[in-house]
C-alpha cells in the first residue's frame, strides 16, 4: 500500500477537479441547474417517508464497503484519532458532496437532452455527438481519464486491499496481499459487474442487497471492539494459538459472532428477497 500512495495522491487531486469541472460545464451548458430545484414532490405522507428511508439506506450501502474495510488501513495508524477523525469528516462529507454534484449534473442533462441522464459515462458520450470542438473533446477526455483514475483507486482501496488482507489472514502460507488482490480481480470479472450498471434501479437494488450482509459484519466488529473489548486490542494474542488468548474462542472460531451475524442477516433478508423478486 505504501508503494502506491502516489496513485491515491493523484486521485485526490484529479478526481475532485474533474467532478467540479463536469458540474460547472453542465450548469453552463443548461443555463441553470435544471428542474430539480423547482419541481414539486410527487410523493406525500408515508410514501414520501419510505422513499426517504430507501434513499438513506442506499447512501449508507454505498459506503458499507468502506466501513467494513476501515481496519485494513486503520491498523497502520499511530493514534486512534488518526483513523477516527478522517472517517468522521471525510466519508460523510465526501459522499454528500459527490451525490449533490451528480444530482445537479443529471438535472442539467434533462434541460440539454430532454431526459435526465444518470450515468456520467453516457452523458460524456452525448457531449461528443455531432461535431464537438477540440476543447469539448479534451474536456471529455480529461473528465473520463480522471474518473478512470478514481475508479482504479477506489477498487484498490475498497476491494483489492480488503480481499488481500482477509485472504492473507485465512491462508497466510499460500496467499499474500498481492495474490489476494489478483483473486479479487478474477472474481470481479467472473461476476460480470457491468450488468449492475444497466440502469439506476439495478444499481441501487444491488447496493441495498449488498448492505444486508456487510451491515451484519460491521455490527459484529463494532460490538466486539467497543462493547466487549472496550476499545482495546491485545496484539500479542493475535499471533499465538494458546487457549488463554483473547482470540482463542473455541478452537479459534467465535461461534457467538457467527450467530450474531446470522441474526443480523435474518432481520433484513425479507427485504432482500423482496428486492430480488
Q: Are 39 and 106 in contact (CB under 8 A)?
A: no
Q: Are 186 and 160 in contact (CB under 8 A)?
A: no
Q: Which residues contact 246 (CB under 8 A, 6 or more apart)?
A: 229, 234, 237
Element (H, E) at 112: helix 80-113
pLDDT for the residue 88 = 80
pLDDT for the residue 139 = 92
Q: Which residues contact 233 (CB under 8 A, 6 or more apart)?
A: 225
Cα–Cα nearest to 15, from 117, 123, 146, 137: 146
pLDDT for the residue 201 = 64
- Model-level pTM? 0.75
pLDDT for the residue 129 = 86
Q: Are 160 and 185 in contact (CB under 8 A)?
A: yes
Cα–Cα nearest to 155, from 129, 132, 182: 182
Largest separation between any pair of C-alpha atoms in the chain: 73
pLDDT for the residue 213 = 80
Vertex 181: Cα angle to 178 and 182 (nearest 5): 95
Q: What is the pLDDT along the chain (277 residues), one digit of tens a residue?
A: 667 778 888 998 999 999 999 999 999 988 888 887 777 777 788 888 888 887 777 777 777 777 777 777 777 788 878 878 877 877 788 888 888 898 899 989 988 888 888 888 889 999 888 888 899 999 999 999 999 999 888 888 777 888 888 888 888 888 888 888 888 889 888 887 777 766 666 666 666 677 778 888 888 888 988 898 888 888 888 888 888 888 888 888 889 999 999 988 887 777 666 655 5
SS3 250: strand
**What CA–CA distances, in Å, run from 71 to 66, 75, 237?**
9, 5, 17
Q: For residue 120, what is its C-alpha cell?
A: 456520467
Cα–Cα nearest to 212, from 107, 51, 57, 99: 57
Cα–Cα nearest to 102, from 86, 121, 87, 127: 121
Amino acid at each position: 500500500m505504501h508503494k502506491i500512495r502516489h496513485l491515491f495522491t493523484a486521485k485526490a487531486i484529479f478526481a475532485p477537479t474533474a467532478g467540479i469541472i463536469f458540474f460547472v460545464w453542465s450548469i453552463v451548458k443548461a443555463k441553470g441547474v435544471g428542474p430539480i430545484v423547482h419541481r414539486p414532490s410527487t410523493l406525500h405522507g408515508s410514501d414520501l417517508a419510505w422513499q426517504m428511508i430507501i434513499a438513506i439506506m442506499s447512501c449508507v450501502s454505498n459506503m458499507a464497503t468502506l466501513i467494513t474495510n476501515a481496519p485494513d488501513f486503520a491498523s497502520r495508524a499511530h493514534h486512534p484519532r488518526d483513523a477516527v477523525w478522517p472517517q468522521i469528516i471525510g466519508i460523510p462529507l465526501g459522499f454528500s458532496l459527490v451525490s449533490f454534484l451528480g444530482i445537479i449534473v443529471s438535472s442539467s442533462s434533462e434541460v440539454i437532452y430532454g431526459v435526465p441522464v444518470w450515468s456520467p459515462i453516457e452523458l460524456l458520450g452525448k457531449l461528443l455527438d455531432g461535431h464537438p470542438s477540440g476543447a469539448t473533446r479534451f474536456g471529455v477526455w480529461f473528465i473520463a481519464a480522471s474518473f478512470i483514475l478514481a475508479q482504479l483507486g477506489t477498487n484498490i482501496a475498497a476491494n483489492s486491499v480488503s480481499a488481500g488482507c482477509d485472504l492473507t489472514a485465512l491462508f497466510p502460507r499460500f496467499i499474500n496481499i498481492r495474490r489476494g488482490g489478483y483473486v479479487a480481480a478474477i472474481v470481479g470479472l467472473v461476476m460480470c459487474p457491468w450488468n449492475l450498471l444497466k440502469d439506476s434501479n439495478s444499481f441501487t437494488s444491488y447496493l441495498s442487497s449488498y448492505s444486508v450482509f456487510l451491515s451484519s459484519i460491521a455490527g459484529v466488529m463494532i460490538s466486539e471492539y467497543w462493547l466487549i473489548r472496550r476499545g482495546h486490542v491485545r496484539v500479542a494474542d493475535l499471533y499465538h494459538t494458546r487457549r488463554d488468548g483473547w482470540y482463542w474462542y473455541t478452537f479459534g472460531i467465535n461461534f457467538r459472532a457467527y450467530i450474531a451475524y446470522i441474526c443480523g442477516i435474518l432481520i433484513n433478508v425479507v427485504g432482500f428477497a423482496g428486492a430480488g423478486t
